[in-house]
Chains A and B, each alone.
Chain A
């Protein structure tokens, strides 16, 4: 019996469930007995089914046809492609492969976000089964002849149209947003999303996103985005407005390895607000970017925000300069890794090792501040302000061309709190260094400079792992800093999807 799962909520809202405390001891016992019985029945049922499947693993099955409810939502060609694994051969197949095919088909509906609910029921075709059992369970013929079945996919499709508007108001800031989503637009998993945000922090942002599976295959998705936005780059004391297209092709295989190929064409305008840096001033104005990016990821982690076990690698390479109008052509590579491991079970702790590194090689005299790397911040090298590490010019963080940072985090359960709780204790050490690349001195020299003198910080705090994001409140202290790094001591608050 697992009440543990709701442990946190129980504690937070114990006052709201008074009937738990008011019932008598006998009633309590009765209740728990009832639950125990229920669970026992479910368990028995599951065991029985499992045994059945194992025993009949090689039972030949023939799929007569496939049925789907609410099929008017989908194109015929699309459905045909989805059901291909089931209908591919007229030959009888084993029960095992039949079930895996069912699984495959269901997964592709789920992967494309086409269904709210999906339930598969399998109906035997009358006449092929001997009706010997009153329960209809032991109905498979013993002579090895195949059974003809019809799998029926009962689906509740997603809502085709969805719109959301709202406002966010915080301390001295506020914004409003509106979002439209047209899902499954042409009955083949095509989605159209429009987003508009305007407010004090993001002065304006519009996004139009169209995505669809390639060749009706849920493993390959193409995504085309047109966006217009203006963002504040506080560390540069400047605004950056971006207008342009991004065309992406990515895979969503069930295996650990996935690929992503992106072409970006952007017009960016750097608008200086109050920076006195020559780099920012001279580079203010229009920039045109036209680049091709390839990313490969390997991800075996059990949770993206707070893994307790698994590995993650990402390797990315970018070439900017596809079109002649590119203002600052460059080559960029990024390598990221994360390794999580659980400590012995009764310690209720796990260790996470992460590193990130990147190299930007400008094909011009110098790289643009818009393309450079920026590190530091509550999600990155903690105990430094956002993008507060690396080269500075008149108090502006102007970014660098080579960086390497990383950290070790120890995540453990809070004493006297259930190990299932989403609140954890967090201890960490972070390090990082970001430098500009002097091409006249050579890349090797730059790598040499990267071997010593890292900014290092440590700290501890509480983290809360929400399904959507991770929240951290840490007490941080810088151990080693460079003279112009923006370090901070004391409390630091972080929220985000990926942390160092």
Chain B
């Protein structure tokens, strides 16, 4: 039995309500690869558990693939294991790393690093630092993933991580607090789900206007400033993303089989592991539920062919996931609840 643990939610009643979370493109890519490789293998049983429990992993990060013998962490190791042990079927749209030439394997490895060290932070920006997406979408996701009371702390933690991570790419945070003294890099405290629920438009009313006009002007100004900063950051983010995607587009151009259109990078047969991950990232960046789809809009205009190609794959794999019906909710010690957390911390349970 293979169990892939991912970020996501499972709904018994509504099949479409189940979801592998876009907060982790690696989870999405691993799930796709799993169904792609094992979809029609009758003898191998597998499941995808939307446990959202990072304690299951030895490196504190999902996805993790648990087999009878061992654990595989992260997309790189999981894809390596799947490619090595399961032959591709006729329906498969992927090509095993071992089937590539040695140089292609090296480039594949480089592209994986490129995705995980660069485009990853674009995804973080899109989900957490883009104010509209965070407040109207991402923050609310955790209610579905984690039981009470764990869902309060986790989005904040991820928000803080994202805030420092985007600075790696030279992006800045969008908001500055009232007590944010210039010159220092400080942790910006995000509003929690509890405090700010449905209050988005009441910000100004809540402020006590001390010396009425002046105070209000200042507030309006700072609001305007943060909006300006946000659009500046979004533009920079798009520019960066476009630069990062150029790598793939150029590689595709080099591949003679594609004839000008965007296609597979290495082999006409299917997507390599780096391409699966790339499609997962594109799927997450342009997800239809996001309130602010500025990345989707850019790609649709500027890189239409590429987007179409990527969307085609994610559509196919998502359909396959839905058909295969391998998702299940976490049970017992797999659930990321408070009690399990305490047991884990105190050493009563080991994963």
Whether A associates with B in a native complex is yes
Among B154-190, those with CB < 8 Å from A are 179, 181-184
Least CB distance from B222 to A in Å reads 15
B179/A174 in contact, CB under 8 A? yes
Least CB distance from A287 to B in Å reads 26
Which of B181, B183, B184 has most chain A Cβ within 10 Å?
Answer: B181
Least CB distance from B278 to A in Å reads 40
Chain A neighbourhood of B182, CB < 8 A? 172
Least CB distance from A316 to B in Å reads 36
Least CB distance from B47 to A in Å reads 50
Chain B neighbourhood of A172, CB < 8 A? 181-183
Q: Does A165 contact B (CB under 8 A)?
A: no
Closest to A203 in B: B184
In the bound complex, what is the Cα–Cα distance between A174 and B177 (angstroms)?
A: 14
Least CB distance from B345 to A in Å reads 29
Closest to B186 in A: A200
Least CB distance from B177 to A in Å reads 12
Instruction: Report the contact-size class of chain A (Cβ under 8 Å from the partner).
Output: under 10
Closest to A174 in B: B181
| Interface SS majority for chain B | loop
Least CB distance from B65 to A in Å reads 44
Chain B neighbourhood of A27, CB < 8 A? none
Least CB distance from B123 to A in Å reads 33
Q: Does A142 contact B (CB under 8 A)?
A: no
Least CB distance from A406 to B in Å reads 36
Among A192-212, those with CB < 8 Å from B are 200
In the bound complex, what is the Cα–Cα distance between A174 and B182 (angstroms)?
A: 11
Least CB distance from A264 to B in Å reads 31
B184/A200 in contact, CB under 8 A? yes
In the bound complex, what is the Cα–Cα distance between A174 and B179 (angstroms)?
A: 9
Chain B neighbourhood of A254, CB < 8 A? none
Interface bits A37-55 vs B (CB < 8 Å: 1, else 0) = 0000000000000000000
Chain A neighbourhood of B184, CB < 8 A? 200
Chain A neighbourhood of B183, CB < 8 A? 172, 200
Chain A neighbourhood of B181, CB < 8 A? 172-174, 200
Chain B neighbourhood of A200, CB < 8 A? 181, 183-184
In the bound complex, what is the Cα–Cα distance between A101 and B171 (angstroms)?
A: 74
Closest to B184 in A: A200
Interface bits A168-189 vs B (CB < 8 Å: 1, else 0) = 0000111000000000000000
In the bound complex, what is the Cα–Cα distance between A172 and B181 (angstroms)?
A: 5
Least CB distance from A174 to B in Å reads 6
Least CB distance from B329 to A in Å reads 45
Among B179-232, those with CB < 8 Å from A are 179, 181-184
Least CB distance from A260 to B in Å reads 38
In the bound complex, what is the Cα–Cα distance between A160 and B181 (angstroms)?
A: 38
Least CB distance from A182 to B in Å reads 32
Least CB distance from B187 to A in Å reads 14
Least CB distance from B210 to A in Å reads 14
Closest to A171 in B: B181
Closest to A170 in B: B181
Chain A neighbourhood of B179, CB < 8 A? 174
Least CB distance from A197 to B in Å reads 16
Closest to A169 in B: B179
Among B279-323, those with CB < 8 Å from A are none
Closest to A172 in B: B181
Least CB distance from A398 to B in Å reads 24
Least CB distance from B186 to A in Å reads 9
Among B128-151, those with CB < 8 Å from A are none
User: A-B pairs with the 8 shortest C-beta distances?
Assistant: A200-B181, A172-B181, A172-B182, A173-B181, A200-B184, A174-B181, A174-B179, A172-B183
Contact surface of B with A, Cβ cutoff 8 Å? 179, 181-184
Can you list 9 pairs linking A and B with CB atoms under 8 Å apart? Answer: A172-B181, A172-B182, A172-B183, A173-B181, A174-B179, A174-B181, A200-B181, A200-B183, A200-B184
Contacts A173-B181, A174-B179 supplied; 7 other A-B pairs, CB < 8 Å = A172-B181, A172-B182, A172-B183, A174-B181, A200-B181, A200-B183, A200-B184
